[in-house]
Structure 1
Amino acid sequence: MAALSALERSVTERIDGAAMLAQVEAWGAINSGTRNLAGLATMATRLADAAAALPGDIRLVDPVPVDSIGGDGRRIMLDHGRHLVVTVRPDVATRLLFVGHMDTVYGVDHPFQHLTWRPDGALVGPGVTDMKGGLAVMLAALTAVEADGGAAGIGYDILINADEETGSLSSSALIAELAAGKLAALGYEPALADGTLAGARGGTGNFSIVVRGRSAHAGRNPEDGRNAVVAASDLAVRLAAARAPMLGVNPARIDGGGPNNMVPDLAVLRVNFRPRDAEAIAQGRAILDETVATIAGEHDVGIDLHGSFNRPPKPIDAGAERLFALVGRAGADLGLTIGRRDTGGVCDGNNVAAAGVPVVDTMGVRGGAIHSSDEFLLVDSLVERAALSAVTILRLAKGGLA
């Protein structure tokens, strides 16, 4: 702690762990699954109330329309919640971006709805780590920095979107807009339980592939049919066989079929791609197009593609290296060891990096078992990670990425 400046010590001493924990408990009691629009609206109101402590303009931004393919092969529109944006000192030349999400993976009908305490003092609950704890960290750090005047030389935007867990399809344009021209960005996905941060990330692409065959009687004239389920299955097997070290391919689901005595004329194959770099995206798209054409010809079926590579890979470039180094030094001066590990997981940090902005996207709490009914938050990390963010922000305000 001796390496901290007087201002940094003053700011970190302002961080109120009890208040942060109370926020997490209150927010964790609100179901805000991505499709729960009422719950998301409640969360947005609570978050706006918390952000009112900052000297900025608060607004809710409508989601961009997003469509999907249903199990019947038809295009449907998806509903999303509104996204919260806070803008502070927009006319200042040096500006930062802070990103988080209010949605969770736990829908209204998910059995995991309540908070409990483990014997070791960890808080277990839906979204407490991913990322309602992270949102508490973000807002506490910024509130403490603003209270001591440490951020007067910078401006910033906060984006808390409502659809990160399903790919940020209704907010990706907003992320790109807010990222433009920023010096750096901090995201509040959780760190690992030991505090390790995510480094480079792979990308992702999600596709729904509609296969249309021809129905026929399975006993009388099956040769007149074109089996869409068989074609979709063949397509899934061939795509899975095309995986490579830099390109993951996961055929995840086939919808379709019908009565046993009928050749099925419709199937929808869902496939996830995980490219590790830009070249792998091109490779994945070429494999997809070529395999679809082959299957369409061999099985005499029609095939329509829906989807995209919606999150590009996030490499660690020179700017990101400098930002990680700054975070590491801030951690060391707080008595923390800040490790880093590359991951195949994706988040809004991928989108921010694609806009050319250095980002560290796991500045949130320590915890684990996210996306499961055992999700837990290590409560002592609330103050710890808020202090890490606060010192990082103060140093960005003072010296940039130097």
Structure 2
Amino acid sequence: MDRMTMDERRSIEAIDQAEMLRQVERWVAVNSGTRNVPGLNTVGAMLADGFAALPGAITLVDPDPVETVDADGTVRAIEHGRHLLVSVRPEAPVRMLFTGHMDTVYGETHAFQAMRYTDPNTLNGPGAADMKGGLSVMLAALKAVEAAGIGDRFGYDVMINSDEETGSFSSARLIERVAKGKVAAFTYEPALPDGTLAGARGGTGNFSIVVTGRSAHAGRNPEDGRNAIVAAADIALRLNAVRGPRLAVNPAKIDGGGPNNVVPDHAVLRVNFRPHGLDEIERARSQIDAAVAMVAAQHDVTIAVHGSFNRPPKPIDAGAAKLFALVQAAGADLSIPIAWRDTGGVCDGNNIAAAGVPVIDTMGVRGGAIHSAEEFMIVDSLAERARLSALAIARIVAQGGL
């Protein structure tokens, strides 16, 4: 604490954990599963009210069109909520990006809908850690920086999307746009319970491979049929065989088929890839193309591939290493130990890094058991992590970037 400047001290003095907790409780009480558009609209409006405390222009951005492939192979559009964008001092010399998401993995019919305290310092609730607690940390940190009076040198965008949990397909272009020109970015996914941050991340790609064969009687004339299930399984085996230390492949599901006495003429194979380098993305793409071509020829079926590698791998490059070192030093001055480790998970930090911006994507609360009914947020990490963000921001601004 003795090494902090007066500006830095002012940037953390105004942080009010009790106010932050009340905020989280209000936001957690509203279901905002990715497919619950009315719930997302409600939470989006609540967030807009909260972030109106910042001196910027607030916009609710319409989502980009997104399609999905149903079990019968039908491709249809799916609805998403709007994304919240706050732009503050766009002409300032030092500009940062702060991102989060308002959606959760808990839909309207999910059993996990209510919050409770398992002890005075632990809030169990849907989205408490991932990431409504993180959104409160982001807002408190930015309010603290504004209160410290260093804002004239500092501009930033806040982007809170409605579809991160399903891949940010309707917000990917928005993320790319707002990342341009930023010296650094913080994303407010939760840290681990002990405060460990995510370092390097692999990428991900999801594909739905639609196979159309020909139906026939399974006993009378099976040779006239073209079995789509068998063809889909052949693709799954071929793709599974290309996995390696830097490319995980998970053929996850085959939809299709019907009565036992009918050769199935339809199947949809769902496959997830986890590449640990851009070279592995290219290798996976070539293997998909090769498997599809060979199976289409050998089984005499028609195949359509839907999907993409929507999250590129996120390495710790020189810029990211500088940002981690700065946050670690800020943590030391606040008596908050900061460490990080690589993870197989993905988030919007992958997309931000792909835009060439150094990013730390676990600046949110300490918590755990996310994506389960045991999800929890550690209450006293609200103010702790807001102070960490505010101090790190103040130092980035003071030195004019990284």
Same fold (TM over 0.5): yes
Is residue 352 of structure 2 the alignment partner of residue 352 of structure 1? Answer: yes
CA RMSD of superposed structures (Å): 1.0
Identity of aligned residues (%): 64
Higher alpha-carbon deviation: 345-354 or 142-151? 142-151
Amino acid at match of 1:147: A
The yes-or-no answer on 1:177 pairing with 2:181 is no
Equivalence for 1:85: 85
Question: Alpha-carbon deviation of 1:85?
Answer: 0.2
Equivalent-residue separation in structure 1 for 2:264 and 2:11 (angstroms): 65
Is the 8 Å Cα contact of residues 37 and 80 (structure 2) preserved in structure 1?
Answer: yes
Tell me which amino acid in the other structure corresponds to 2:282.
Answer: A
> Residue in 1 aligned with 2:299?
299
Q: Structure 1, residues 46-89: CA drift from partner, whole Å, max 9, x if none?
A: 00000111000001000000111111111100100000000000
Which runs of structure 2 are paired with 1:135-214 in the superposition (5 Å)? 135-214=135-214
| TM-score normalised by length of structure 2 | 0.98
- Aligned partner of 1:15 in structure 2 is 15
Partner residue, 1:257: 257
Give yes or no for the alignment of 1:96 onto 2:92: no
- One-letter identity of the residue aligned with 2:363: M
Q: Answer whether contact 2:121 2:380 (CA < 8 A) is retained.
A: no
Deviation at 1:171, TM superposition (A): 0.5
- Kindly provide the amino acid, as one letter, of the partner of residue 166 in structure 2: T
Contact (CA 8 Å) 1:41, 1:82: kept in 2 or not?
yes
> Residue type matched to 1:283 in 2?
R
**Displacement after TM superposition at 1:300 (Å):** 1.4
How many residues in Structure 1 have an aligned counterpart in Structure 2? 402
TM-score, structure 1 length as denominator? 0.98
AA of the residue aligned to 1:287: Q
- Work out the CA distance in 1 between the residues paired with 2:162 and 2:119: 32
Measured against aligned partners, the alpha-carbon deviations of 1:258-296 in whole angstroms (never above 9, x if no partner) come to 111111100000101100010000011111111111111
Residue type of the alignment partner of 2:171: S
Contact map agreement 2:10 2:147 (CA 8 A) in 1: no
Residue aligning to 2:280: 280
| Amino acid paired to 1:303 | I
- Larger mean CA deviation between 163-172 and 149-158 belongs to 149-158
Higher mean C-alpha deviation, range 339-348 or range 8-17:
8-17
Partners in 2 of 1:256 and 1:21 — Cα distance? 47
Runs of 5+ in structure 2 lacking a partner?
none
Look up the SS of the partner of 1:152 in the other structure. helix
Q: Deviations along 1:85-106, whole A, 9 cap, x unmatched? A: 0000011122110010000011
Instruction: Report if the CA contact (8 A) 2:11-2:148 is conserved.
Output: yes
Note if 1:125 corresponds to 2:125: yes
Superimposed CA distance per residue, residues 226-271 of structure 1 (whole angstroms, 9 cap, x where no aligned partner) = 1111111121122112111110101111110111111110000010
Q: Which residue of 1 aligns with 2:397?
A: 397
* Partners of 1:344 and 1:269 in 2: CA distance: 23
Equivalent position amino acid for 1:330 in 2: A
Secondary structure at 2:214's aligned position in 1?
A: coil
Give the CA deviation at 1:120. 6.3
Q: Which residue of 1 aligns with 2:226?
A: 226
SS state at 1:263 partner:
coil
Q: Once superposed, which parts of structure 1, at least 4 consecutive aligned residues long, lie more than 4 Å away? A: none
Deviation track 1:199-239 (CA, whole Å, cap 9, x = no partner) reads: 11111111000001100011111111111111111211221
Amino acid at match of 1:265: D
Structure-2 separation of matches of 1:101 and 1:371: 14
Q: Relative to structure 2, which stretch is displaced further, 9-18 or 40-49?
A: 9-18
Pairing 1:320-359 to 2, within 5 Å after superposition: 320-359=320-359
Shift of 1:299: 1.4
2: CA distance, partners of 1:151 / 1:236: 54
SS at match of 1:182: coil
CA distance in structure 2 between the aligned counterparts of 1:140 and 1:252, rounded to whole angstroms: 40
Query: Equivalent residue of 2:9, what SS?
Result: helix
SS at match of 1:295: helix
| Equivalence for 2:63 | 63
Mapped to 1, the partners of 2:103 and 2:359 lie a distance apart of: 21
Number of the residue aligned with 1:114: 114
- 2:232·2:269 contact (CA, 8 Å) conserved in 1? yes
Local SS of the residue matching 2:119: coil
Q: Is the 8 A contact 1:204 1:312 kept in 2?
A: yes
Secondary structure of 2:234's counterpart equals: helix
Return 235-244 or 257-266, whichever deviates more.
Answer: 235-244
Q: Aligned-pair distance for 1:119?
A: 3.4
Deviations 1:286-334 (A, max 9, x none): 1111111111122111111001111111111111111111101000000
**1:57 touches 1:86 (CA, 8 Å); kept in 2?**
yes
CA distance in 2, matches of 1:200, 1:24: 29
Match of 1:49, as an amino acid? D
Deviation, structure 1 residue 37:
0.3
Letter matched to residue 36 of structure 2:
N
